[in-house]
Amino acid sequence: MDCKCITITYLTRASYASLNGSDKEADNISSIKKITMSDGMQYPYKSSQAIRRDLREQLAVMGWELSEAVVAKQAKGAASTLGEPEKYIDDDLFGFMIADKNTKKRTGPVRVSPLIALEPYVGDLDFATNYMGAKAGGDPNIFETEIHSGFYRGTILVELDRVGEADADSYKLSLKNDEKTKRVKALVDAVQNLWGIGRQSRFLLTSLLNLFVPR
């Protein structure tokens, strides 16, 4: 029987990180996203949207051309990609929605879960000072950032039978099997070499893949 999907569950270690910013709890504290579990403790996480962005950026590093973001044509519409999955790997794998007179939508065959810490947040803060204000004649800007160290677990599901195949009549997509295989392998390589692109000037996260558990 042919395999129609694969599930990749992976572990990665953040030695010293502030993975994904949340709403500020105070003017001088940059919070990280956290979820409260059944044990009453708060566990940091990185959102699925942020992981998808990291995967896109890694595909670009690997030499794949990505679909450009464009401004919505209608008032109050959301920005979108070009919506050309035959040409762009990210439009194929992650999908898109272009809200116009005729809505153009693709549900991506790649599903991404948040990256959730296995150890709770215990209140660690990084103390820092921005001296740019002092150079301009003002006072140094003192601030703190929530930080966390530990292992994180995430899951990615790929619907193999939908990669390179259209799920609507509003766009064209019908790739040959070798191109489909090439795109899936590129995604797996991107996961194996995944790292976060946010806040790297102060928190360089080396989140190379530690463990694969395909199902």
Q: Give the CB-side neighbour count of residue 172, counting CA atoms within 13 A.
A: 2
Q: In what order do the strands lie in the sheet with 141-146?
A: 29-30, 141-146, 125-130
Rg (Cα) of the chain, in Å, rounded?
Answer: 20
pLDDT tens-digit series, residues 25-53: 656 778 889 999 999 999 999 999 999 99
Whether 87 is covered by a domain: the verdict is no
Q: What is the DSSP string of 96-142?
A: EEE-SSS-EEEE-SEEE--EEESS-----EEEEEE-HHHHTTS--EE
Whether 171 is covered by a domain: the verdict is yes
Residue 123: domain span:
5-64+108-214
pLDDT tens-digit series, residues 121-165: 998 888 877 666 555 566 677 778 888 888 999 999 999 999 999
Terminal Cα-to-Cα distance of the chain (whole angstroms)? 15
Whether 91 is covered by a domain: the verdict is no
Whether 80 is covered by a domain: the verdict is no
Write a three-state SS string for 14-61.
EEEECCCECCCCECCEECECEEECCCCCEEEEECHHHHHHHHHHHHHH
Q: Please state, in angstroms and rounded to a whole number, the distance separating the CA atoms of residues 106 and 167.
A: 7
Whether 122 is covered by a domain: the verdict is yes
Confidence of residue 214 (pLDDT cuts 50, 70, 90): very low
Q: Can you say how many angstroms the Cα of residue 93 is from the centroid of all Cα atoms in its chain?
A: 13
Whether 43 is covered by a domain: the verdict is yes
Whether 197 shows a pLDDT value over 60: the answer reads: no
pLDDT tens-digit series, residues 77-126: 566 789 999 999 999 999 998 877 778 899 999 999 999 999 999 988 88
Whether 74 is covered by a domain: the verdict is no
Q: Is 65 helix (H, G, I), strand (E, B) or coil?
A: coil
Q: Is 184 helix (H, G, I), strand (E, B) or coil?
A: helix
Q: How many domains does the chain have?
A: 1
What's the pTM value of the predicted model, to 2 decimals? 0.80
Whether 86 is covered by a domain: the verdict is no
